[in-house]
Structure 1
Amino acid sequence: MIRDFVLASWLGLAALSPALAQAQSQPLLPTPQRVLTLSAAASMDVPNDWLTLSFSTTREGTDASAVQSALRQALDAALAEARRVAKPGQVELRAGNLSVYPRYNPKGGINGWQGSTELTVEGRDMTVIAQLAPRISSMSIARVGYSLSREAREQVESEVGARAIERYKKRADEVTRQFGFNRWSLREVQLNTDAPMPPVPMMRAKTMAASAADEALPVEPGRGQVNAMVTGSIQME
C-alpha cells in the first residue's frame, strides 16, 4: 500500500510538472503605466409624460369578515369605474394589497378590526385619468406623481448617453495633451444612465375627496431629468 501511495504521488507530480514549468516560463505582465481614470456626465430635462394616481380607503369594525367584505366592495366599485376608461399604455390599472389586521385594547385584547386597500391608475392619457378622479367615490386620492414613461426614458437615455461619451472623449483628449502625450487608448469604461423619480406628493384624503367632488384633478406634470455618467480609464501614449 505504501508503494502504491508513493507511485500515485510521483504520477501526480509528473502531471503537474509541465504546467508548473509553463507557468514559470511565462513572463510577468508589466505594471500598467500612464493610466488615468476619468469621468464625464450629461443630463437632459424632458417633460413628464406619465401620471400615476393612487386611491385608497380604510374600513374598521368588530368583525374581520365584515371589514374585509367592505374593503372588497369599495375596491370592486372603484375598479368597475376605472375599467371603463382603461386602455393599454394609456390608462392602466393595478389593484394594491387588501389587508385586515386586529385592533388591540390597552390590556392586549382584540377589540376590533381595521384594514385598507389601494387602487393605482396610471398612464399617458393624463386628461382621462384626471377626469376619472371625481367619478371614483368609494375611495379617496392618496398620492399623485408624474414621471417619464419607459419608452420616453429609453429614447432620451440614448441621446444623453451619447452626450456623456462625447464629453468623456473630449476630456481624455485635453488631459492627454496636458500631460504631454500625443494620443490615448481606452482600457475600460462604464456607462450608467438613470431617470430619478420625482417626489410623489402626499395628499390628505379628506381634502382631495372634497375638492374632487365637482371637478377633475388639476394636471401639472412638470419636467423630469435623465442623467448619464461615463467612468473609465485610459492609457496615455
Structure 2
Amino acid sequence: MKTLFPRIAAFALLGVSAAQAGTTVDLAAEASRPAVNDQVQAVVYVEARGANPALLARQVNQEIAGALQLIRGKAGVQAKSGNQSTYPVYGREQKIEGWQMRSELVLESRDLAAVSELLGELQQRKLAVGQVSQMPSPETRRKVEDEATRDAIRAFQARAEVIAAALGKSWKIKQLAVSQQGGPQPMPVFRATKAMLADAAPAPLEAGESQLTTTVSGQIELAD
C-alpha cells in the first residue's frame, strides 16, 4: 500500500458575540487519509418471467437455493437475502400478460479472490451480477477515521492558535462537532450475454483505496 500524507484543510469565520462574552470565532478543519478497501460486497440476482406467478416463484427460489449452496461452500464468504420483487407485465390495453420476479443475494467477504472466483461460478449458474462495492472493513475504517480525527483536531487547534496570536489574545474551545465522510466505491458491472455465461471467468477485483475525511467544526472564544 502506498503511503500518502493526510490532506488537511482549515478555515475560520470571525464573529462578535454579546458584549458580556469575548469575541467568538467559527472555525472548521478537515483531514483526509486513505484506507485500504479490504472488504467487498456484491449483489447477485435471479430474474425470470412467466405466466404463472406460483411456478415462477418456485423456479426463482430453486435457483437461489442452488446459489446459496454453492456460496456456503466458500470459506470466508457470507450471504444474506437482498431485495425481492414480483410485478405484472402488461400488454395491450393494459392487460396482464405475465409476471416478472427478481430475487437478490448479497455477498460479503474480506477475501477478494474468493469473491472473484465465486462471481464467475454464479454467472455459470445464470445468476447476474448487479453491483460490486469495495470498502474498508469496519476495523480498518475505525482505525483510519481515528487517525484522520487526530489530524483534524490538530489542524483546528493550530488555526485557533494562529488567529489568537494575531489578535494578541488567549483562547478556549466553546463548541466542537466531529463528522466523517467517505463511503463504498462501486465498481462498473459488465453484464454477460448468454453465450458468455458458459465460459464466465472470475471477475478481477483490485482492493484500491477509499479516501476517508474527518471534519472538526466549532467555535472558540477569544479573551484578553
Q: TM-score range by the shorter chain?
A: 0.7 to 0.9
Question: What is the aligned-residue identity percentage?
Answer: 27
- Equivalent residue of 2:206, what SS? coil
Cα distance, 1:119–1:206 mapped onto 2, change above 3 Å: farther
Q: How does 1:20-39 map to 2 (within 5 A)?
A: 31-39=20-28
Bigger-Rg structure (1/2): 1
- Mark the CA change 1:206 to 1:179 in structure 2 (over 3 Å): closer, same or farther: farther
Q: CA RMSD in A?
A: 2.0
In the alignment, structure 1 residue 153 sits paired with structure 2 residue 104: no
Q: Is the 8 A contact 2:38 2:207 kept in 1?
A: yes
Is residue 179 of structure 2 the alignment partner of residue 188 of structure 1?
no
2:44 counterpart of 1:42: no
Structure 1 segments unaligned to the other structure (5+ residues): 1-28
Task: Decide which structure has greater helix share.
Answer: 1
CA contact (8 A) 1:142 1:203 kept: no
| Other-structure match for 1:227 | 213
Question: Residues 49 and 37 from structure 1, CA distance in 2 versus in 1: closer, same or farther, beyond 3 angstroms?
Answer: same
Q: Confirm whether residue 75 of structure 1 aligns to residue 64 of structure 2.
A: yes
Structure with the higher fraction of residues in strand conformation: 2
Residues 133 and 62 of structure 1, relative CA distance in 2, 3 Å threshold: same
| Structure 2 residue ranges without an equivalent (≥5) | 1-17
Q: Give the 5 Å matches for 1:96-135.
A: 96-135=82-121
Aligned to 2:150: 162
Whether the 8 Å contact between 2:129 and 2:189 is mirrored in structure 1 is no
CA distance in 2, matches of 1:147, 1:225: 10
| Normalised TM-score (structure 2) | 0.84
The change in CA–CA distance for 1:133 and 1:202 in structure 2 (over 3 A counts) is closer
Q: Would the aligned equivalents of 2:56 and 2:101 in 1 still touch at CA under 8 Å? A: yes
Change (3 A) 1:37 1:148: same
CA offset at residue 196 of structure 1? 2.2
Instruction: Figure out how many residues of one structure are paired with residues of the other and give that number.
Output: 204
Q: Residues 146-186 of structure 1: CA distance to partner in whole angstroms, max 9, x if unpaired?
A: 111111101111111000000100000001111232x2111
**SS of alignment partner, residue 96 of structure 1:** strand
- The question of whether the paired residues in 1 share the 8 Å contact of 2:132 and 2:186 is answered with no
TM-score w.r.t. the length of structure 1 is 0.80
Q: Using the alignment, how far apart are the partners of 2:60 and 2:200 within structure 1?
A: 24
**Does the CA contact (< 8 Å) of 2:131 and 2:186 recur in 1?**
no
- For 2:92, what is the secondary structure of its paired residue? coil
